[in-house]
Amino acid sequence: MSALATSTTFPSVPAFPAGGDAHWETENRTVWNEQMHMSEERELVYEISWITELGVWRRFLRFQRKVQN
């Protein structure tokens, strides 16, 4: 198999809108750990952002970790 070098023009991808209305929320929840087959408390960090194109608020899970007792 040989590689061919071709020139292809890709459409530009719009940048993520700067500014906007975004903030972070942290929640502690008890979740099921499928690997350990047990419940555990986890800290979940969400980014809450206004999506202008859709006209709605969206929550994106950005980080999670096990809560240390």
Predicted TM-score of the model (pTM) = 0.60
Burial string for 2-23 (b: 16+ CB within 10 Å, else e) reads eeeeeeeeeeeeeeeeeeeeee
Tokens matching residue 65 = 């970790």
- Residuewise pLDDT in 10s, the chain (69 residues): 445 444 455 455 455 455 567 899 999 999 999 999 999 999 999 999 999 899 999 999 999 999 987
Specify the pLDDT at position 22: 86
Map residue 52 onto helix, strand or coil: coil
> Which of 46, 45, 41, 50 lies closest to 60, judged by CA?
46
Query: What pLDDT shows up at residue 20?
Result: 62
Determine the pLDDT at residue 24.
93
